[in-house]
Amino acid sequence: MDYDWSAADLAFRDEVREFLAAKLTPELRRAGRLATSVYPDHAASMAWQQILHERGWAAPAWPVQYGGCDWSLTQHYIFTRESTLAGAPALSPMGIKMVAHAIIAYGTPEQKAFYLPRILTGEVFFCQGYSEPEAGSDLASLTMAAVEDGDDLVCTGSKIWTTHATEANWIFCLVRTSRTGKKQQGITFLLIDMRTPGIEIRPLVMTSGEQVQNQVFFDNVRVPKSNVLGKIDEGWTVAKYLLVHERGGAMAPYLQAMAQEIAVEAAEQTGPDGNSLIDDPAFAAKLAEARIRTEVLEILEYRTISAMSRGENPGPASSMLKILATELSQKLTELALTAAGPRGRVYQPHATAPGGPIAEFTPPADDYRSGEEWQAVAPLRYFNDRAGSIYAGSNEIQRNILAKAALGL
């Protein structure tokens, strides 16, 4: 395969760079660079989505007839890479990058006409209702019941780790409509209006201090059968299709930018001996290894793009890339926590009566990379990233997939 960009690719890259330079305000860039996870500040994310929608770039991976872009796979990668390097805030993945693809593939004409344009504008904002207290990695064990009653399904149960449930006005859920046959059978994919009576949201405080995740309770919530995506009892097929999109994406640019930030910060932080952290051979070796692995990941992503551009099935590549990217991200957040030094802490002294003086935090006016702002973000990213090897199918499950699909075990 040829790893060089074509002249057309380079021209497109320049077009994207010009757009980002013109449209990314300092406020949006700040929201992007200070994000503690893949979910940035909600208001900034929606503002950036509106700007992208006006350009026609909010959902480039959608089919053109629904508002997508007629881009090559290489162009999709370039757009993601340049947006990441420019510090653009991410868009919430649940609507545009996840459920929208399931609606396009399995939705009725009426469902497509209602949801897709509203997802683009942000009028419909989805959260994901998959995991339950007793059904996480083994998702097929879910028990949230949906009982048929005339033209409705009456839902009772709960979902947990529901990101942005307090911001969302719709949720896509997997519910149990039958208990016969294998546990993967009898599951239905359902779209539920979060304003329906009987829904209660309880925020969960994460170790980072954020209230991004939630538990959602459903008490006899009536949902029209017209909100079923696909067929009743056949939602597992829809869910598997959606999961491919959840695991996809270009992670190497984001990780490369993170590694560069760590290198800059480690060079500027000096210890009592006057030496910088980057001069520590042990730390420097760990960072060098991580940076090499980001380059390897990028090459593997290029190979996957090349195969898909030729119409080939990349096979278990999505599982392999998911494992590599999430575990590398966890390693980098560990190094960032080290580079942040003693100011990289989650402790909130304003809520306590401490027994000694607390070092003041003074955010710099502009360059966060050389100031305390970067140090304050490091522990929050560290705690958030612990979930990376669990969500979208745990890495243990991904290794099982590779063992079967690639090694024939």
pLDDT of residue 1: 47
Domains contained in the chain, number:
3
Question: Does any domain span residue 388?
Answer: yes
Determine the pLDDT at residue 210: 73
Would 49 be classed as within a structural domain? yes
Question: Whole-angstrom Cα distance, residue 251 to residue 98?
Answer: 17
DSSP, collapsed to helix, strand or coil, labels residue 369 as: helix
Residue 1 tokens, joined? 């395969």
Q: What is the CATH number of the domain that holds 157?
A: 2.40.110.10
Q: Which residue has the higher pLDDT, 101 or 304?
A: 101
CA-to-CA distance for 291 and 309, rounded, in angstroms? 27
Sign of torsion, CA 94 97 100 106?
Answer: negative
Are 37 and 139 members of one domain?
A: no
Same domain, 134 and 187: yes
Q: What confidence tier does 231 reach under pLDDT thresholds 50, 70, 90? A: very high
Where a domain ends, among 210, 235, 260?
235
Same structural domain for residues 384 and 345?
yes
- pLDDT score, position 48: 97
Tell me, yes or no, whether 327 and 395 share the same domain. yes
Q: Are residues 230 and 286 in the same domain?
A: no
Residue 351 is part of a domain; what is its CATH number? 1.20.140.10
- Provide the 8-state DSSP code for 94: I
Residue 84 banded pLDDT, cuts 50, 70, 90: confident
On the question of pLDDT at 201 being above 70, the answer is: yes
Residue 264 inside a domain? The answer is yes
In a domain, 277, yes or no: yes
What's CA 245's distance to the chain center, in Å? 11
Say whether both 185 and 294 belong to one domain.
no
pLDDT band at 375 (very low <50, low <70, confident <90, very high): confident
* Beta-ladder partners of 156: 145
Domain match, 271 and 225 both:
no
SS3 134: coil
Q: Domain of 160?
A: 126-235
Query: How far is it, in rounded angstroms, from Cα 45 to Cα 83?
Result: 13
Question: Has residue 112 been placed in a domain?
Answer: no
Report pLDDT for 284: 93
Determine, yes or no, domain membership for 114. no
Q: Which of 66, 91, 116 marks a domain boundary?
A: 91
Residues 352 and 395 reside in one and the same domain: yes
Say yes or no to pLDDT of 387 above 60. Answer: yes
Domain for residue 100, yes or no? no
Q: How many C-beta atoms surround the C-beta of residue 55 within 10 A?
A: 10
Q: What type of residue is 220?
A: N
Residue 182, judged by CB atoms within 10 A of its CB (0-12, 13-18, 19+), counts as exposed
Six-digit token string for 232: 């009743």
Let me know if residue 173 belongs to a domain: yes
CA 409/CA 405 separation, integer angstroms = 8
pTM over 0.85: no
Residues 220 and 308 in one domain: no
The answer on pLDDT for 368 being more than 50 is no
Q: Is the pLDDT of residue 367 over 60?
A: no
Q: How confident is the model at residue 312 (pLDDT cuts 50, 70, 90)?
A: low
Task: Write down the pLDDT at residue 300.
Answer: 84
Residues 148 and 297 in one domain: no
* Residue 318 CA from chain centroid, whole number: 15
Q: Please give the pLDDT value at position 148.
A: 95
pLDDT tens for 272-302 read 677 888 889 999 999 999 999 998 888 888 7
In this structure, are 135 and 195 located in the same domain? yes
User: Are 216 and 199 in contact, with CB atoms under 8 Å apart?
Assistant: yes
Residue 232 to residue 177: CA distance in whole angstroms: 7
Shared domain check, 295 and 215: no
**C-alpha to C-alpha distance for 355 and 281, rounded to whole angstroms:** 36
Residues in the chain: 409
